[in-house]
Structure formats: C-alpha cells, structure tokens
Chain A
C-alpha cells in the first residue's frame, strides 16, 4: 500500500463533457503529479504541483488543469472531453524527493 488513493475507480463520460478526478496523498506529501496511461502504453506526464503551485507540465493542452489543496488532496480536471482522453489516470505523490508513490488510478472511458 502506498497510502495514495484515487476516486472514482471507473468513470464513463461522453464527448464534450467535463470531468474531475481526485487524489488523496499521504500526510506530508507536498508534491503530486498526474499521469495519463493509454491502453498498452507507459504513463505520460501531465503536470506536477508542489505546495499548491504548478511546478511543471507535459505536452497536454490547457483543457487539462489541476489543483492541489493544503490537506494533501488534489484534482485533475479535463474539459471538452475527447475520445482519445480515454485512459487510466494516475496520480503520484512524494515529499520533494525523487521517489513518487502511485495511486491505483481512475479508468476514464469517453464515449
């Protein structure tokens, strides 16, 4: 167990809708990253938050946005969903170290 939880486990949305995914980290984890893992692929870095500020972003459009809260929880928001957004979304947290602990993921299906 990594102490990182994500909700919901599964989610089905339709194209054009908006979705919010949630992650709860261990106490003290001041860094959280979000990754998108398409079927059969490795995870792709979306962005990272450090002490509630965005601290780096991968090659994802602005309709992917996030928030990190003082209580060690975070959100990933995706607007205007596209079919290609169907994937497993993983959050990972740590304490400003290079070791990131992953949650079990949220499987998003866009129809």
Chain B
C-alpha cells in the first residue's frame, strides 16, 4: 500500500534552516509528482510547491519562492524540503503528498516545525 513517512518534529531557532524528509513506498516513486502543503495552527492548507522525482523539475507557489527548496533522492525514494531563514510565521505542520488524479491522493503524517529562540 502507498505510504509517505515523514521525519520527526523540529524545534529551530529564528533565522536558521530546517530540512525534512518524506520517504515513499508502495508505488513507483518516479511516476508521480510530490507536493508539499503547509498548515498553520488551526488554519487551512497552503500549497508550497511540487517536484517530479523522475526529472527533478519543480514548481512553486510564488509565496514560497526563496523560502522552500525541494529535492529528491531517487535511490531511496525520498523527497526533501528545506525551509530557510525561518521566522515565527513558518511555525506550522508541513505535509508531503502524492499527486494522483489531479488531486493529493496520499498524505504523509506531517512534520511539526516550531520556530522559537
């Protein structure tokens, strides 16, 4: 069965960076786009960007350009997102998702990022 297993929660200082992972299993990793979605506390969902593992091609929400960097390791079927120059506004839960049928058909369990000194 399809699974997306994300890395654990992170506590980071303002101005620092954080890199999180999303390990895929149960399907051919290189055949599907992987998106990342932000959910601020008690709020709705924002699409950050997407990456196509086969080629490494990426697309971003304008709001997150310069904030997020997306990469993949095809050998381990793992997608990564790095967030830079963190502020309190970046404190949120971050999900990786697989794109299928034009929608987000599978989701990871989420990574809670807390930005605090």
Does B associate with A?
A: no
Q: Residues of B at under 8 Å CB distance from A?
A: none
Chain A residues at the B interface, C-beta cutoff of 8 Å: none
